[in-house]
Amino acid sequence: MAIRIRHADETLKEAHEINVTPFIDVMLVLLVIFMVTAPLTTVNVPVDLPSSTQKPAPRPDDPVFLTVKADHGLAVGEEDIAAEALPSALASVTKGNKDQRIFLRADKTVDYGTLMGVMDKLRSAGYLKVALVNLQGQEEGAEAGAAP
């Protein structure tokens, strides 16, 4: 007497589920690759940036101008100030409003490091809204008042 075990479901069926594990693995590998290569895509090429000919944004009624002169001296409005007095001078001109936009002007002979130093002083003083001022409507290479 032989005992036979019968399985009711001996036929093969297709699996109707998508296996997403390989897809997730590929996406994670791509994510790691992009995270590693993204910082390498920055370009460190020295350039001479052109002037803008676009229409300028409207100025407020009473703008605060901070000027970096050719001798690296600073001026708020028309008044010359020392670099150490910059936070107090801006606080008096803006009446303590740190959200007011500061219009930063610099002579074209001022180097980039000096300009960034002034911007760092503005940031440390709490003034985060800084607009850079340039000559509008002039083509590249044209000087103000120069004859063609």
Question: pLDDT tens, 90-145?
Answer: 888 888 888 888 888 888 888 888 889 999 999 998 888 888 877 655 444 444 44
Residue 67 scores a pLDDT above 50: yes
| 60 contact partners, CB below 8 Å, separation of at least 6 | 101
d(CA 26, CA 69): 55
**Residue 78's closest CA among 93, 91, 88, 61?**
93
**Beta-sheet strands, E only, within the chain:** 64-68, 74-76, 79-81, 102-106, 130-132
pLDDT digits (tens, 9 = 90+) for 9-53: 666 667 678 888 999 999 999 999 988 888 776 655 565 556 777
* pLDDT value for 1: 62
Distance CA 68, CA 104 (A): 8
Per-residue pLDDT at 25: 94
* pLDDT value for 142: 45
CA angle in degrees (0–180, nearest 5) for 88-133-100: 40
Confidence of residue 146 (pLDDT cuts 50, 70, 90): very low
Domains of the chain and CATH, by start: 83-135 (3.30.420.270)
pLDDT above 80 for 56:
no
Give the pLDDT of residue 45.
53
